[in-house]
Amino acid sequence: MIIDFHTHLFPESICSGRECYCESEPAFELLYHSPTSRLVS
């Protein structure tokens, strides 16, 4: 079995200000709009 994954690490400013980035970045909003989508720094 092959398991493939990758991780995105964000600066704390993005983790704490997710809404601002969702407004200006459609791709970011698609992936991380939901509060249950985890962001790590």
| Tokens of residue 2, six digits | 């092959």
pLDDT of 18 reads 92
* Three-class HEC string of the chain: CCCCCCCCECCHHHHHCHHHHHHHCHHHHHHHCCCCCCCEC
pLDDT of 23 reads 92
pLDDT of 8 reads 87
pTM > 0.95: no
Domain boundaries, the chain: 1-41
Residue keyed to tokens 């092959």: 2
pLDDT of 17 reads 92
pLDDT in tens, 1-41: 999 888 889 999 999 999 999 999 999 999 999 989 989 99
pLDDT of 7 reads 86
